[in-house]
Amino acid sequence: MFTWYKRGTPLERSTFWGCFAGWGLDALDVQMFTLAIPAIIAAYGIDHTQAGAISGVTLVSSAMGGWLAGALSDRIGRVRTLQITILWFAGFTFLCAFAQSFPQLLVLKALQGFGFGGEWAAGAVLMAETISTEHRGKAMGAVQSAWAVGWGGAVLLYAAAFSWLPSDTAWRVMFGVGLLPALLVLYVRRNLREPVRVAPSRAEPAVSVWAQIAQVFQPRVIKTTVIGAILGTGAHGGYYAIMTWLPTFLSKERHLSVLNTGGYLAVVIVAFWCGCMASAYLLDRIGRRRNIAFFAFSCIVTVLAYVMLPLSNTQMLVLGFPLGFFAAGIPASLGALFNELYPADMRGTGVGFCYNFGRIASAGFPVLVGYMSHSMSLGAAIGIDAAIAYGLAMVAVLLLPETRGKRLRPTAVEQASQPVADADFALDHPRSQR
């Protein structure tokens, strides 16, 4: 499983850790909100639908940020875009700590989302273009496990803050800590390098960022773009329907204390890390399509059992492991799959669009869960929404081609300037070109 890391170049390892840290700190910032929802509801006197709206607005803005950052990374480079997005989301997470009203928090969370979505898009393409073909699935699945690390850090911070501070102060302190990711820019500047790509011809006219985004709707790739967007919708919709409301479900419907809620979440988080690592192995073993379909079906079965069966607290604790394990498999697969579906000149744009369109479309799922909870239990609302979303993901991935072992396609300029085999080698081993 870790042979790829031992055999990797220093640049491959540095890129892995840079993206790992970025995605982990993303998770820290994002999951803090889901944990703080009960305190925010109390602080501003809002209901579940309004709280879900904050999550929904953040997802929409993160999708737009992913679109823009993906296109920007095709224009100014992956590493520069990564630095910009890290500073953006860290700064606005910090400012959320000072929100004095519900509308203020809504706006600040929306601005935070731009950087959050953009950071994933730039980092995913950077990873794909740096890691060798035969190990791409394992490396990109493993880097997704950083989400579990950041999520675990958020739970520890949540437990400490809400145990030692009044709730209205505790959630603000949590957001204040969100400034820490800004320090990651120092590591990125020193250790990460832009993948070698042949510069576009000067004769090629410059296009706007929006025109760059529009390229993913060209006839040669439009089918891939539409199906990829549907897959992203199902993957994100299922995840956010569960994870946005899971802490509230445990505390309000299962009546668990802060520390006990943290214990249940710890099981889910450890399982999420294990699921990412299992998916990373299976991606290069059984292929992208089978892996995603397997995890999507398993998610449907597990989440329905978790929120709808009359389980004891001990049974819920045990079932929390497969819940987190299977929820990890799909997001751990998307980076490798989406990168392998597009040529280099629109790779950042295509990856950013498919992954983040899912965020926009899935933004309605947390809101819908909150709305449905007025007429049914919160657990039932979570289960129904998540099952629909994961069913959509399972159908969509079966309509895409298998890309396991596929070399990243060069741009038209690269094809004209060197043989395809040499271009592929340069993309897969960026340090080999000078």
Domains of the chain, first to last: 9-193+210-402 (1.20.1250.20)
Cβ atoms 264, 272 nearer than 8 A: no
- Alpha-carbon span 350 to 70, nearest angstrom: 7
Cβ atoms 44, 168 nearer than 8 A: no
pTM of the full structure: 0.75
* Core vs surface per residue 99-131: b (16+ CB within 10 A) or e: beebeebbbbbbbbbbbbbbbbbbbbbbbbbbb
- Alpha-carbon span 434 to 432, nearest angstrom: 7
Angle at 127 between CA 143 and CA 406, to 5 degrees: 105
Cβ atoms 32, 155 nearer than 8 A: no
- Alpha-carbon span 320 to 272, nearest angstrom: 10
Cβ atoms 62, 356 nearer than 8 A: yes
Distances (CA, A) of 360 to 168, 306, 328, 344, 396: 30, 26, 20, 24, 17
Alpha carbons within 13 angstroms on the beta-carbon side of residue 97 total: 17
pLDDT of residue 423: 39
Counting every residue written for the chain, the total comes to: 434
- Alpha-carbon span 36 to 111, nearest angstrom: 18
- Alpha-carbon span 123 to 130, nearest angstrom: 11
Residue 414 confidence (pLDDT) above 70: no
Kindly write down the DSSP assignment for every residue of 167-215, as one continuous string. Answer: HHHHHHHHHHGGGGGGGHHHHHHHH--PPP-PPPPTTSPP--HHHHHHG
Q: Is 248 helix (H, G, I), strand (E, B) or coil?
A: helix
pLDDT of residue 260: 56
Mean pLDDT of 183-211: 65
Cβ atoms 93, 182 nearer than 8 A: no
What single-letter DSSP state applies at residue 402?
P
pLDDT of residue 14: 87
Kindly write down the DSSP assignment for every residue of 110-142, as one continuous string. Answer: HHHHHHHHHHHHHHHHHHHHHS-GGGHHHHHHH
- pLDDT tens digits for range 2-16: 677 777 788 888 888
Q: Which residues make Cβ contacts (< 8 Å) with residue 203, sequence separation at least 6?
A: none
Give me the phi and psi of 112, to 5 degrees please: -60, -40
Residue 415 confidence (pLDDT) above 90: no
**223 — pLDDT class (breaks 50, 70, 90):** very high
Helix axes 378-397, 288-308, angle to 10 degrees: 170
- pLDDT tens digits for range 275-324: 999 998 898 889 899 999 999 999 999 989 888 887 777 887 788 899 88
How far is C-alpha 207 from the geometric centre of its chain's CA atoms?
28
| Dihedral sign for Cα atoms in the order 256, 259, 261, 266 | negative
**179 — pLDDT class (breaks 50, 70, 90):** confident
Helix then strand then coil, in percent of the chain rounded to 5, is 80, 0, 20
Q: How many CB atoms lie within 10 A of CB 144?
A: 32
**346 — pLDDT class (breaks 50, 70, 90):** confident
- pLDDT tens digits for range 67-91: 888 888 888 888 888 888 888 888 8
**403 — pLDDT class (breaks 50, 70, 90):** confident
How far is C-alpha 288 from the geometric centre of its chain's CA atoms?
17
Angle at 350 between CA 348 and CA 355, to 5 degrees: 95
Stronger pLDDT, 21 or 431, i.e. the higher one: 21
Give me the phi and psi of 399, to 5 degrees please: -90, -5
- Alpha-carbon span 125 to 145, nearest angstrom: 17
**208 — pLDDT class (breaks 50, 70, 90):** low
Stronger pLDDT, 269 or 411, i.e. the higher one: 269
Give me the phi and psi of 63, to 5 degrees please: -65, -45
- Alpha-carbon span 64 to 88, nearest angstrom: 14
- Alpha-carbon span 200 to 206, nearest angstrom: 10
